[in-house]
Amino acid sequence: MEKLDLSEAEWRARLSPEQYHVLREAGTERAFTGKYNSNKADGVYYCAGCGAELFDAEEKYDSGSGWPSFTAPVDIDAVEEIRDASHGMIRTEVRCATCEGHLGHVFPDGPGVNGLRYCMNSASLDFKSRDDAE
C-alpha cells in the first residue's frame, strides 16, 4: 500500500479545521457530537484524509460510547495499531495505513468473534451509501 505523504500546509488546505485536529493532531471530537455516531445507513466508511476504504457499515454497531464503533476494519492492512500512552493511560491508537491519520482507538470490549471495538471519530471518516454507488 502506497503511503500518502503531504506537507502540513497541504493537509491544512485539504482538511477542515476539525478534521485536521483529529487526523493530524490526534484530537478527539466530543462524545455524541459526530455526524456518523447514529448513522445506520448501509455503505462504506473511508478515511477523510486520503479516501482509503476503512470500515463497512455491516461491522458498525451502537456501543453506547458516543463515537462510531466497528467490530473490524474492511482489511486489517487498512489500519495501523500503535501503542498510545498519552493522557495517563495505555490504549491502542488506530491510524489510517495510507496517510497515517489518527482515526481513534481500539478496545478489547466489543462484540463479535474478535471482541474488539474500533472506536472512531466521525471527523476522520467519510461515508458513502451503497445506494449512491449503484
CA 21 to chain CA centroid, Å, is 13
111 belongs to a structural domain: yes
Q: Which residues have a Cβ under 8 Å from the Cβ of 80 and sit 6 or more positions away? A: 94, 95, 96, 97, 100
pLDDT in tens, 60-101: 999 999 999 999 999 999 999 999 888 788 899 999 999 999
Domain tally for the chain?
Answer: 1
Check pLDDT > 90 for residue 108: yes
104 belongs to a structural domain: yes
Tell me what pLDDT residue 9 has. 95
Of the residues 54, 119, 120, 123, only one is catalytic, namely: 119
96 belongs to a structural domain: yes
Tell me what pLDDT residue 26 has. 94
Tell me what pLDDT residue 86 has. 80
Q: Which of 63, 134, 132, 133 is nearest to 104 (CA)?
A: 63
The pTM is what?
0.92
Tell me what pLDDT residue 88 has. 84
CATH number for the domain harbouring residue 20: 2.170.150.20
47 assigned binding-site residue: yes
2 belongs to a structural domain: no
Q: Provide the residue range defining the domain that includes 44.
A: 8-129
3 belongs to a structural domain: no
76 belongs to a structural domain: yes
Tell me what pLDDT residue 133 has. 55
106 assigned binding-site residue: no
Tell me what pLDDT residue 90 has. 87
80 assigned binding-site residue: no
pLDDT in tens, 3-62: 888 999 999 999 999 999 999 999 999 999 999 999 999 999 999 999 999 999 999 999
3-state SS string for 35-104:
CCCCCCCCEEEEECCCCCEEEEHHHEECCCCCCCEECCCCCHHHEEEEEECHHHCCEEEEEECCCCCEEE
Check pLDDT > 70 for residue 1: no
Instruction: Clarify whether 119 is annotated catalytic.
Output: yes
134 belongs to a structural domain: no
92 belongs to a structural domain: yes
96 assigned binding-site residue: yes
